[in-house]
Amino acid sequence: MAVKAKILRILRLLAISAKMDLVWLLRDTKYAIAGITADIIGNLAVVSSVFLVAVRFGGIGGMSSDEVLFMMVYSTMVTGIFTMFGSGNNIHISRIIGRGQLEHLFIQPLSVRMQLATCGFSPFTGGSNFLVGLILLVIAVRRLELVVTPFWILSLIAYILTTMTVIVARAYLVSSTAFYAPVAAEEIATTAIDDTWFLSTFPLSGMPAYIQLPLITFLPEGLMAWFPSLCLLGRPPLGFSAYYPMLFALVIALVASYVFKKGMNYYVVKGSNRYVPYGFRR
């Protein structure tokens, strides 16, 4: 019963976030539509640019143009899910920590974990890229003549969840520095996620191993789209197991959890230095 009650509460909180997102859309529809349209155009520009390069040169690094398209579709779907569930700085967590806003979560009658899991849900203004990704997925699957089975669909879902785990875990790992240096590290999550994202939109096939290996370990941009898409096509790269992304996600999630909890304990004792004694923010 406790698990059922928790699930129902999460669904209610997601519904509240979705309602707030819809209200914002309806209240300022012109600017909302402009933002959504710009987001779609920007994402399609990234997809089409790499795809057209692949078409022009007959593929990239042993990947055909249709396989490159499938990889870009995967990236688009991940971007869509990220935008749909991370619009409240709940993934760019260093902003909340660095701005001294974590206390806002402490005073709510909900766990911090539950608030962070639901506060960024914006299906109406943030779900456009995911819908575009689904449409392009159908096109890519047909062009590649893939045999879509229930197991393949489950594998697709599993890899997308794995990629999201890596993104969130890395963001929380680096954001832990904001507990100790809130001013300097306020935007470190942006650097870790957004400023390196374009590396994940280009196929690594054909590149030397000394470039590929760092991009699936220390800087895991290769796990954002390239590695999972090849696994879904039945060709895990570099002789690695198809389960490598899951293992990497598990390890980085455990490390991030430990480091973040340690930073949280420090924060509870020391507090934030973003506020002076009389209440003004530095």
Give pLDDT, residue 27. 80
Name the packing angle between helices 65-85 and 150-175 (round to 10°).
60
Query: Among 114, 159, 157, 161, which Cα is nearest to 14's?
Result: 114
Angle 118-120-122 from CA coordinates, rounded to 5°:
105
In this predicted model, which residue has the larger pLDDT, 6 or 29?
6
- Over residues 33-82, the pLDDT tens digits come to 887 788 788 777 877 888 888 888 888 888 888 999 999 999 999 988 99
Task: Name the E strands within 15-89.
Answer: none
Mean pLDDT over 193-211 rounds to 81
Cα atoms in the 13 Å half-sphere on the side-chain side of 258: 5
pTM comes to: 0.89
Spatial separation of the C-alpha atoms in residues 9 and 4, rounded to whole Å: 9
Give pLDDT, residue 142. 93
Q: Where exactly are the structural domains of the chain? A: 2-270
Spatial separation of the C-alpha atoms in residues 70 and 57, rounded to whole Å: 17
Spatial separation of the C-alpha atoms in residues 86 and 190, rounded to whole Å: 12
